[in-house]
Amino acid sequence: MAVAKKFEFSKLFINLLFTVLSLVVILPFLLVIAVSLTDEKALTQNGYQFIPKSFSLDAYRYLLDAPDILFRAYGVTLTVTVVGSLAGLLLTAMTAYVISRQDYRYNRVTTFYVFFTMLFSGGLVPSYILITQYLHLKDSLWALILPILLSPFNIMVMKGFMSKIPHEIIESAKIDGAREFRIFFRIILPLSTPALATLGLLISFTYWNEWFNAMLYIDDPNKVPLQLLLVRTLNSIEFLTTNSEFTGQLGIDLASFPNSSARMAIAVLAGGPMVVIFPFFQRFFVKGLTVGSLKG
Amino acid sequence: MKKRLFGVLAFVLLAGSVLAGCGGNNNGNGNGNGASATEGSATAGVQSAAPDSGDAGELKPVELTWYYPLSQLQADQAKVQEEVNKIVKEKINATVKLMPVAIGDYVQKMNTVLAAGEKFDILWTGYMLKPEELVRKGAIQPMDALLDEYAPELKADVPQVMWDGLSVDGEIYGIPNQQINGSRYGFIIQKRFADKYNLDTASIKKIADIEPFLAQIKQNEPDIIPFGVFGTSFINPQSHDDKYWVVPGLDDHFYIKTDDPTYTLYRYPEEELDNFRLASKWYKEGYIYKDAATEKMNDYLAKGQIAVDFNVTLKPGVEAEVKAKNGGNEVITVPLSDWFSNGYSATTNQSISRTAPNPERAMMLLNLVNTDKELYNLLCNGIAGVHYEKTTGDYIKALPDSRYLPNMDWVFGSVFNSYLKEGQPENVWEETKKINSDSEVNPVGAFKFNSEPVNTEIANLNAVWGEYKRGLVTGTLDFEETWPVLYGKLKEAGEEKYVAEVTKQFEQFLKDKGLKK
């Protein structure tokens, strides 16, 4: 009995610990949502509060007043994420598969070649020159997709996973008359679902959150992704408040900026879908990891 | 053995291909620049064939690209660009591609664009992207000849002091977007308190004179912060008063005495230190907010909780500007100095890129923007009837929910051409022009310090000041206790070497300018 009681206690402790942890994670989200629903005047008077003193939808009204920009940005981000993730995942898997094959003669050299780019890169200016002056991708969605299409790190992770697939499987497939493409698509890919799910999620997050390339390469307001809209607003406010000397001299009116509640509303609209989609993905992703597909 | 040999070989090949790749890149780049240069001179040839024709018919149609920062990108940018191009096409047979960049991204983006040698014509330079630095990088081109040929009116319109501020090694590298260029410090006081306590503004001649008023506020208005100093802006009235001029471009702790023919440098004069003493005293009395060193001023200003604020640019129309920021409370200003100027520090300008395919046409466009009121206001305020409406005279009012309201007139050109906004006095631009031409000019305002020999010392000194400045300015740190410690640290950081270098260069400057034999 005493043992059982002690057991209960440890359970309580664990539950408490995780309750606190979850709260730490969830509360800031809730605060963002709460602030986005608070009346701006109440915000200046009382600061950020979980339960709005006076409820208002003004922030959303302000944003949805010109919804075309927001919806276009959604469209751009979605397109880039979907196309980029699918293409990126396929290419990552293909590259990783090739360098994971023991019977590929140059596999160490190729691995080193991939690994090398993980340590050294051309840097910002050469990349910019390549994209704008050689590939002529300025103001093209490809400029958002191509630069992060293949990440050497992901290739290495994938390679690590694929090299655990027994070589005998490939050999037996060969004996059964399968060619390389068939082996790859019919045998290797299905066997790699856990790794594909994990990396797919990582890649799609990278695409969803990407804004830096957009800042450099996109000038056309119709092709601006969602995150850049958000980052721009925040950067500009940050810049103007830290350079008060400058703004004071020139008379930039900070009041013309989206106020705090509108900023939070942008955050909700930008991050919201991912928060909703993530649990769905996550189920798939955990399942993929636990099923364990090396049954043969 | 064979395998290893192969590995080495492969690596060599790989390295070779990487190097070749780099080389190829450079070549391509070189070619690109070469091509642009020839292109440029070709158009130059066309231009010089018909140098003084203002006739659009003889100009070849070109597209000009113009980068500038905006605090917020505008929804109707495309519509405005279309209207702008109607005017520009008619006047100089060119079209403009407007490339606004969010102000927070501007420096990074432009540095990348410039480093990549991208071809474009005009860029905004100024406070955060200094023309002088761009000249050192070879990113922008001198425009003396272009100014003389294509924009003589503009050249005459801008005061010489501004051209001086934009000159590097004797050549002009930018066109200033004219606006107020001068300082006059003083207090901004909320009218409701000034009225309530019958403040006699005429009796306030120096900073310390405001003290009794602060005491009254402290005593009777528990929710109000009597004096709004939060350590981000510095009370530095000595930048010019009846005794001293600050030497600009340094760390603001070097002074010369007004009307001193020997131009002796003073470092940390007692009068400057007295301001810190005053801050300490006011902090102890509770006139300065107790958490001032760590809080943000805007949070309190917006709620109208600051009774008295110190400001260094009490320009015409400042009352309306402040009112908008401090929760709609009326304010009055009490200037403590006359207008003075340390020269033009290249705050906001347009420059022409070194890679510009059509520098002549770029200059024509800049001339047009600065002389054509219609074009300028189109850029600043959008289209009449769509984005704003005219009220009376030159006054305009932005329409509600306007989709084009950059609110940054100074980014495009001379603000003297802009329509008036509500609250601005009718003669605001005449007044401002008068200030620009009449303000007392710092006799050593043209001094430019070359910081290279003492870069390390400057970084160290800044680090030491960074640690103490907010504490001292807000009075949170007691001055008498802190100063000996701080001064000791400054000495360790290289104070003496820095002072010696400044003195040396300053003496040289005086000799070169003939101020001192």
Domain ranges across chain B? 31-180+345-439
Chain A residue numbers with beta carbons less than 8 Å from the beta carbon of B99 are: 219
**Higher per-residue pLDDT: A64 or B100:** B100
Question: What's A146's DSSP letter?
Answer: G
pLDDT of residue A5: 56
pLDDT at B403 over 80: yes
Q: Where are the beta strands (DSSP E) in B289-373?
A: 306-311, 331-335, 340-341, 348-352
Of B14, B127, B324, the CB nearest to A246: B127
A83-87, A121-125, B242-246: segment of lowest average pLDDT = B242-246
**Higher per-residue pLDDT: A61 or A130:** A130
| Mean pLDDT, rounded, of chain B | 82
Instruction: Estimate to the nearest angstrom the gap between the alpha carbon of B210 and the chain centroid.
Output: 30
What is the three-class DSSP state of B170? coil
What is the rounded average pLDDT of the residues B74-86? 91
What is the rounded average pLDDT of the residues A108-123? 90
Contact assignment for B25 to A249 by CB distance below 8 Å: no
Verdict on whether the full-model pTM lies above 0.80: no
What is the three-class DSSP state of B326? coil
- Please give the CATH architecture assigned to the domain spanning B31-180+345-439: 3-Layer(aba) Sandwich (3.40)
Mutate to test the interface with B, among A63, A136, A236, A260 (most CBs of B within 10 A): A236
Is A91 in CB contact (< 8 Å) with chain B? no
What is the rounded average pLDDT of the residues B319-324? 77
What is the rounded average pLDDT of the residues B153-174? 88
Which homologous superfamily is A58-295 in? Answer: MetI-like (1.10.3720.10)
Residue of A nearest to B12 (CA): A109
Q: How far is CA B333 from CA A177, B6, B186, B208, B230, in A?
A: 91, 81, 7, 16, 19
What's the rounded Cα separation, in Å, for the pair B466 and B296?
A: 17
Residue type for position B434 = K
Contact assignment for B303 to A215 by CB distance below 8 Å: no
| Mean pLDDT, rounded, of chain A | 82
Q: pLDDT band for position B400 (50/70/90)? A: confident
Estimate the share of chain B in helix, then strand, then coil, as percent rounded to the nearest 5: 50, 15, 35
Interface of B with A in 15-44 (CB under 8 A): 25, 28-29, 32
Of A68, A129, A235, the CB nearest to B104: A235
Contact assignment for B32 to A109 by CB distance below 8 Å: no
Burial of B502 (0-12, 13-18, 19+ CB in 10 A): buried
What's the rounded Cα separation, in Å, for the pair A120 and A117?
A: 5
What is the rounded average pLDDT of the residues B78-105? 92
Could you tell me what percent of chain A has a pLDDT over 70?
83
Is B112 in CB contact (< 8 Å) with chain A? yes
Question: What's A187's DSSP letter?
Answer: I
- pLDDT tens sequence across A173-197: 999 999 999 999 999 999 888 888 8
Residue of B nearest to A113 (CA): B14
Q: How far is CA B352 from CA A182, A196, B128, B143, B155, in A?
A: 58, 50, 17, 8, 15
Chain B residue numbers with beta carbons less than 8 Å from the beta carbon of A234 are: 104
pLDDT at B1 over 60: no
Of A66, A113, A249, the CB nearest to B347: A249
Interface of A with B in 147-166 (CB under 8 A): none
Residue of B nearest to A254 (CA): B325
φ/ψ (deg, to 5) at B328: 80, 15
Is A243 in CB contact (< 8 Å) with chain B? yes
CB A62 within 8 A of CB A37: no
Chain B: closest CA distance from residue A208 (Å): 20
What is the three-class DSSP state of B240? strand
Structure tokens at B425: 């006095």
Structure tokens at B388: 């704003």
A137-151, B22-36, B150-164: segment of lowest average pLDDT = B22-36
pLDDT of residue A32: 86
**Higher per-residue pLDDT: B323 or B468:** B468
**Ranges of each domain in chain A:** 58-295
pLDDT at A287 over 60: no
pLDDT at A57 over 60: yes
Structure tokens at B346: 């290249």
Structure tokens at B113: 């664009």
Residues A84, A89, A92: CA angle, nearest 5 degrees = 120
What is the three-class DSSP state of B449? coil
φ/ψ (deg, to 5) at B311: -140, 140
Residue of B nearest to A259 (CA): B302
Q: pLDDT band for position B447 (50/70/90)? A: confident
What is the rounded average pLDDT of the residues A26-46? 81
- pLDDT tens sequence across A4-28: 555 688 888 999 999 999 999 889 8
Chain A residue numbers with beta carbons less than 8 Å from the beta carbon of B407 are: 252-253, 256
Q: Where are the beta strands (DSSP E) in B465-516?
A: none
CB B354 within 8 A of CB B139: yes
Side-chain half-sphere exposure of A167, counting CA atoms within 13 A: 6
Is B305 in CB contact (< 8 Å) with chain A? no
Q: What is the CA radius of gyration of chain A?
A: 25
pLDDT of residue B144: 93
- pLDDT tens sequence across B175-223: 999 888 888 888 899 999 999 998 888 888 888 888 889 999 999 888 8
CB B236 within 8 A of CB B268: no
Chain A: closest CA distance from residue B28 (Å): 9
Q: pLDDT band for position B365 (50/70/90)? A: very high
What is the rounded average pLDDT of the residues A83-111? 93
- Alpha helical stretches, state H, B286-358: 297-301, 318-325
Torsion B61-B63-B64-B66 (CA) sign = positive
Q: pLDDT band for position B263 (50/70/90)? A: confident
pLDDT at B39 over 70: no
Residue of B nearest to A250 (CA): B410
pLDDT of residue A281: 66
Q: pLDDT band for position B406 (50/70/90)? A: confident
